[in-house]
Amino acid sequence: MPPDTIPPAARLHRGAFWRIAWTVVTILAVEFMVCTLAVLPVAFAWRHLIRLTGWSLVARLIAFSAAAVPSYTLFALALMLLTAVATRLLGWRTPPDAEMRIADADWPVLRWARSMVALHIVRVFAGPLFRGSPIWTAYLRLSGARLGRRVYINTLSVSDYNLLEFGDDVVIGADVHLSGHTVERGLVRTAPVRLARNVTIGLGSVIDIGVEAGAGCQVGALSLVPKFSRLESGATYVGVPVERLD
């Protein structure tokens, strides 16, 4: 069938198929390279352990048992660093203030999907070790988040790092869900989340897209801050959805 006689819906479907296929291939290729490079320091360390312990089975058993946790920690650190560098170089990030129809499978939504896969791998393999620590904050900053000094993020349910803007001394409690995107009726909508200095988000809270919180604002535990909310400086908010406490 000549190209000009192919129905538009069929051409769209065919184009989406190849875009999705290319996205899957690039994700697999990049993650294979990142994971391989992250394992190399551990492989070199274990090679030296084998040489140091000689042929003694007992010595090897003791050495490798003692090296198990440090080896995994080294792998996790390398994975965080390499993933952050790779996603920055490849431009895998969330487009700001966008509306992307998932069914169209256009390049912007697929680039966003690739970034989500990359950060999820780090979240699974490295997040439990480092969340809430300065190392986790440094990884988020290297991945594109604009974070001030002494920022502590004790949750793994944070995404769209390039859309996060936090001031100094911000504290995000455990199990907080904070994201720069939401999915509504087949559309991915994005907007930055801006928290000024000294903002504290209580554990288990949900911070939706486009939220802005003034300096010294406090959000109580298990609260819901709806999208595009504006929270006043120095105020305390609680509830689902949040309301200001007098």
Q: What is the pTM of this model?
A: 0.89
Per-residue pLDDT band at 155 (split at 50, 70, 90): very high
Contacts 24+ apart (CB under 8 A), 81-84: 81/139, 81/142, 82/34, 82/37, 82/38, 83/34, 83/118, 83/119, 83/121, 83/122, 83/143, 84/139, 84/142, 84/143
Average pLDDT over residues 122-150: 95
Whether domain 3-244 has CATH 3.10.20.90: the reply is no
Residue 148 CB contacts under 8 Å (≥ 6 apart), including other chains: 166, 167, 168, 169, 170, 197
Is there a contact between 230 and 212 (Cβ–Cβ < 8 Å)?
yes
Residues in the chain: 246
DSSP annotation of 102 reads G
pLDDT digits 0-9 by tens, 73-86:
999 999 999 999 99
DSSP annotation of 133 reads S
Q: What is the pLDDT of residue 1?
A: 45
Q: What is the pLDDT of residue 78?
A: 97
**Could you tell me if residue 173 is left (phi over 0), alpha (psi between -120 and 50 degrees) or otherwise beta?**
beta
